[in-house]
Copies of this chain bind each other. A is one copy, B any other.
Amino acid sequence: MDTIYSDGYHIYFNNVVDELIRFIKNGGYSRFFVLTDENTSEHCLPVIKEQLDELGNYDVIEINAGEESKNIDFCIGIWRMLVDFEADRKALMVNLGGGVVTDMGGFAASTYKRGIDFVQVPTTLLSQVDASVGGKTGIDVEGIKNIIGTFTQPKAVFIDVAFLQTLPERQILSGLAEMLKHGLILDAEYWQKLKDSDLKQPSAELIHHSVVLKNKVVLEDPKEKNIRKSLNFGHTIGHAVETWSLTHDSNPLTHGEAIALGMICEGYLAHKKSGLKAEELEEIVSVIDSLYPRYSFKHSIYEELYSIMLKDKKNFDGKVNCTLLSVIGQFSIDNVCTKEELFEALDYYVNR
């Protein structure tokens, strides 16, 4: 698989551990820090530890696993560790983990001493096909996802599909939702290919193609002025349900489960508003239903979901903007959806 060139940095797919070691060795860094969570400390760090040890002069900073760690308190913890370890401006941060580690590690690095270098080593399917590409860093504040962050590019991304072998199936499915989205918004042929594959074990080639697709979009529109908004398909309603679930459910939805739900709702809106045919909507719903459990929620939470949508970064002037589809493989941005339409879309999910 080809190495992908992004906005000033490379995304490596082959011999990634060797490439990572070479990168650190030749980067002229004063020292480096590996940010992990409990899971990647146990399952991923050991894979590279021997080679890291040969480089010397590094420390590991571990955070708790899970989206609820992606907050300012953990971020302050990382900053403090960097201060205590006397990290200077020539230090490097290696973010080894899922989206929480790559997003928060990227934010901590991009603001420590007004910015030190960082690289992403995403270890979940979700972070490989989504979080680690595109230069968005972020943390949650007041339970609002990624409300605080920066646009800062990593110096390199290292994607090793071998890390996925220890990942629970539910986490694979979480990343898969973003892959399905890439097909739906950008590439009908890829969507077809995905449908014909064993989606509980997506191949390295499929993962690589998702990164190629996402990278094309963010290269063309890094600050989300226009076509990058395509990536928000399923995310307006999906993010709101995810946020709600995070604060209300003992076993909250994964990101991908929420986005899958969001794609059904926004697929419905696409059918109502932007020309998606009924049979295409049915096809989308049937693929998603075959992979993801049904989430049950009541009409009484709709108002709260709507108020979360209004606080979303993507929305302005008290209006909710959705990215929809015109056909499978083509997106349509900036569709203003009324409260009534959004509620109807939620009803569609619940009652179908």
Spell out A's residues near B (CB within 8 Å): 30, 72, 76, 79-80, 83, 86, 88-90, 107, 110-115, 136-138, 141-142, 144, 146-151, 310-311, 313, 315-318
Contact = CB atoms under 8 A, between A and B. Distances in A.
B148 A86 contact: no
Given A111-B150, A114-B149, A114-B150, A141 B79 contact: yes
Given A113-B313, A150-B115, A144 B89 contact: no
A76 B144 CA distance: 13
A311 B86 contact: yes
Nearest to A31: B317
Contacts of A141: 76, 79-80, 83
Contacts of A313: 88-89, 113-114
6 contacts: A72-B72, A79-B147, A83-B142, A83-B147, A88-B316, A115-B151
What are the 9 closest A-B residue pairs judged by CB atoms, nearest first?
A113-B313, A88-B316, A114-B149, A111-B148, A79-B141, A114-B151, A90-B316, A83-B142, A30-B317
A141 B72 CA distance: 13
Contacts of A315: 88
Contacts of A115: 150-151
A109 to B, nearest CB: 11
A114 B145 CA distance: 12
A316 B83 contact: no
Given A30-B316, A316-B30, A310 B76 contact: no
A73 B316 CA distance: 27
Nearest to A143: B83
B147 A113 contact: yes
A79 to B, nearest CB: 5
Contacts of A149: 111, 113-114
A317 B90 CA distance: 9
A326 to B, nearest CB: 25
A111 B111 contact: yes
A83 B144 CA distance: 9
Nearest to A72: B76
Contact of A150 (B83, B142, B150): B150
Contacts of A112: 147-148
A107 B88 CA distance: 20
A173 B114 CA distance: 28
Contacts of A317: 30, 88, 90
A114 B88 contact: no
Contacts of A107: 111
Nearest to A313: B113
A105 to B, nearest CB: 14
Q: Quick one: which of A80, A83, A146, A318 has the most chain B CB within 10 A?
A: A83
- Which of the listed residues A79, A83, A86, A111 has the most CB atoms from chain B within 10 Å of its own CB? A111
A113 B147 CA distance: 5
A59 to B, nearest CB: 15
A323 to B, nearest CB: 16
A88 to B, nearest CB: 5
A106 to B, nearest CB: 11
Contacts of A138: 114
B113 A80 contact: no
